[in-house]
Structure 1
Amino acid sequence: MAISRITTVEVTSEHIGVKGEPNISYIYSRYYRAPELIFGATKYTTAIDIWFAGCVLVELLLGQPLFPGESGVDQLVEIIKEKCVEEDYEI
């Protein structure tokens, strides 16, 4: 397996979330942003970190983002398309 593109993730002390503390939705780049942040959640939880880590791991394996949305709304559409069976739901 070869990774043709290197992604740099920068974490600084101002971007580290604390559980239960207010949060802004742009802590993570759009491709890695948890759905609750796209919907405007302001409380930081462990689930946000788990979503981020999963998206990064999948990108490392596939060599491309799992949910490559162009905007917040498009990002949600990408997540729904991936998570829903197209035979059951019309998107």
Structure 2
Amino acid sequence: MTARDRNSGFAARPRDAESWIRSPDPSSSASIAADLYTARLTVDITPALRGRIKIAAFQRGITVADMLRDLLAREYPDTDGDRP
């Protein structure tokens, strides 16, 4: 058996949680027209609602992600105290 390097970085705990949360994902290559920092949000919805959302986005000629980002931004506008 060979010894494993415990400091390989895989699944390593961050030393400073705040800077780890706010840092962009280095493996992400998706170009998103959003702020410098992004976060993934998972929401459980019914298959029927998912279908309606996808149809609405297709009819508008935009992606589901862009449509939902716009919807959330309208519902929860940025205030001066929310910026990092």
TM over 0.5: no
Q: Which has the higher contact order (CA 8 A, sep 6+)?
A: 1
Larger Rg: 2
Give me the TM-score of the superposition, normalised by structure 2.
0.28
TM-score (norm: length of structure 1): 0.27
